[in-house]
Structure 1
Amino acid sequence: MTYRTLLVHLDDSRHSEARTAFALELALKHDAHVIGLYAVCQDLFRPLFRRGDSLGLAKLEAQGTERMKHACERFTAAATRAGCPFEWRAPAGPATDAAVLHARHADLVVLGQRDHDDEASFVARDFAEDVVMNSGRPVIILPYAGHTPSFGENVVIAWDGSREAARALADALPIVKRARFVTVAVVEKHPDRDEPAGFDAASYLERHGIHAGFASIPRVSGVGTGATLLNQVADVHASLLVMGAYGHARATEYALGGVTRALLGTMTVPVLMSH
């Protein structure tokens, strides 16, 4: 598997340019085409509709058009400087639906963690979660805090033998093959359950030419699996966590599992998720 098309989400937040730079650098490593998908919150006009303030609505729409123009200019300039093949898209309609649809035509998607101190980073409720769960594509989510200069050099793969974990492991291979250090991490389960075959996952990687270490992490009472994985990431100074995204159908939407939601809220390094 190779990455030939990367899709990066763009918005008006202060983190959008960092996502662009990250996606372009990754695309150059994999000789990939980059799609910049501009999708912002669609709910900003609702208060004006309630007041019937048509002049205010027209002003907001004009401001939105100007912000989109500036975002396009910034993305185009960055991609041109990088010498990376690219295209710009700004689809109409609900942001989540548009992102999910366009993500399905990419090999890898780059999103950002929501920054609660930056209103422009809010696109839609559970935006990143819904793209992960519904796009059918691997998604890299970048934390809003910190930089990723050594992305992918030291990788931790969370393994529990599940379908989701297997999917994430296979989806991450183009990145993992370039890593200097790889660790398959298993959080120990309850004593009366079978342990997931972490050694088998390491053997699978070995047959792909990837030498991986193995870590069996004791479960500490009162510490969740998400926090345990992040502690492991910190202990080995990893720059990427690979894991399956878990959820269950609830009416017409997905409800995320506790570990997935916890990691999305507290992540300290980029996380590659697949469902």
Structure 2
Amino acid sequence: MIRDLCVHLDGSSGDKDRLEAARRIAVIFDAHLSGVFVNRLPDMPATDFYGYSAADFDEMQSQARAKGDKIAAALEGPLSDLDVRHELRRFDVVSSRWQQTILAEARLYDLFVSTLPQEDDHEAMALVESVLFGAGHSVLLVPPKCISTLDFSTIVLGWRNTREAARAVDEALPFLKRAENVSVCMIGDDELGRIERVTQGNDIARHLDRHGVAVELNPLPEGKGVGATLLEEADLLNAGLIVMGGYGHTRLREWVLGGATREIMKKSEISVLMAH
């Protein structure tokens, strides 16, 4: 059950869309909404190199806190207008810790809601990757242009028998139970034939039926790729939500999105729920 969700706010123009997306989902589930605002303070400079004095650094800190006060005050207005239970949670941390702070906060909620990052917004993409792979809960990403018409009555579920897909199914159950149509898409690959994919689909269909979710099994050829095939199927069914495992791999110490996951994030025109 989704009773507690959070959304990242930073004082930018994107806050309006992110907050409205979170509000609409909070209304659906009668959930509490927390806006998470991380006010970034300057990191301690290398004094010998930059020549900053302690007084200079204190002044930089004071200016950053004052800027945070203005942003928090500006956020209070939109938050107070919400028709759901809500709060603003503010954290003043050094810039090098801002992403880790949001990640730690996201672990305390049922769902992290945001807008789909723009292709050139590398910072927003990095934050979504961090929460997806590190929070232990799902992320729900909404394209800005479809926020006002959110409709989760038809859902496309990308399924293969993996840990990531199983996590996505579990996290998405509150949405699946409310849906009128759920299409379980088993997309072909080099390892499984159509009959094997249908068998796997029957297994997850049986599990979902025990939760009161009726599904339609949809074995599909891989075609242009997993991501493109899921997007085409969602468009064909006029779906309002794609549910899928969030796949990735480590590059040194950082998680990097897999190809299909990144393609969905970049190209989807409907909401996406991912879990890892």
Aligned to 2:130: 130
SS at match of 1:208: coil
Aligned to 1:212: 215
C-alpha contact (below 8 Å) 2:157/2:184 kept by paired residues: yes
In structure 2, how many angstroms separate the alpha carbons of the residues matched to 1:14 and 1:124? 13
Residues paired across the two proteins, number: 263
Question: Pairwise mapping of residues 1-275 of structure 1 onto structure 2 (< 5 A)?
Answer: 2-39=1-38, 62-75=66-79, 77-79=80-82, 82=83, 84-93=84-93, 94-115=97-118, 123=123, 126-190=126-190, 194-195=196-197, 197-220=200-223, 223-275=224-276
In structure 2, how many angstroms separate the alpha carbons of the residues matched to 1:125 and 1:30? 26
Task: List runs of 5+ in structure 1 lacking aligned partners.
Answer: none
Q: 1:268 to 1:248 in 2, by over 3 A?
A: same
**TM-score relative to the length of structure 1:** 0.84
Alpha-carbon distance, 1:251 to partner:
2.5
Task: List runs of 5+ in structure 2 lacking aligned partners.
Answer: none
Alpha-carbon distance, 1:127 to partner:
1.1
In structure 1, how many angstroms separate the alpha carbons of the residues matched to 2:232 and 2:104? 35
SS at match of 1:195: helix
More helix by share: 2
Q: 1:101 to 1:59 in 2, by over 3 A?
A: closer
Amino acid at match of 1:271: V
In structure 1, how many angstroms separate the alpha carbons of the residues matched to 2:135 and 2:118? 22
Q: 1:89 to 1:176 in 2, by over 3 A?
A: same
SS at match of 1:145: helix
Amino acid at match of 1:233: A
In structure 2, how many angstroms separate the alpha carbons of the residues matched to 1:172 and 1:147? 19
In structure 2, how many angstroms separate the alpha carbons of the residues matched to 1:239 and 1:192? 28
In structure 2, how many angstroms separate the alpha carbons of the residues matched to 1:243 and 1:92? 34
Q: 1:20 to 1:264 in 2, by over 3 A?
A: same
C-alpha contact (below 8 Å) 1:92/1:98 kept by paired residues: no
Alpha-carbon distance, 1:20 to partner:
1.7
Alpha-carbon distance, 1:22 to partner:
2.5
SS at match of 2:91: coil
In structure 2, how many angstroms separate the alpha carbons of the residues matched to 1:249 and 1:172? 25
Pick the structure with greater CA Rg: 2
RMSD of aligned C-alpha atoms?
Answer: 2.9
SS at match of 1:73: helix
1:134-190 CA deviation, whole Å, 9 max, x = no partner? 000111011233335243111110001111001100110011101111110111112
Alpha-carbon distance, 1:109 to partner:
1.1
Amino acid at match of 2:151: F
C-alpha contact (below 8 Å) 2:113/2:139 kept by paired residues: yes
In structure 2, how many angstroms separate the alpha carbons of the residues matched to 1:124 and 1:29? 26
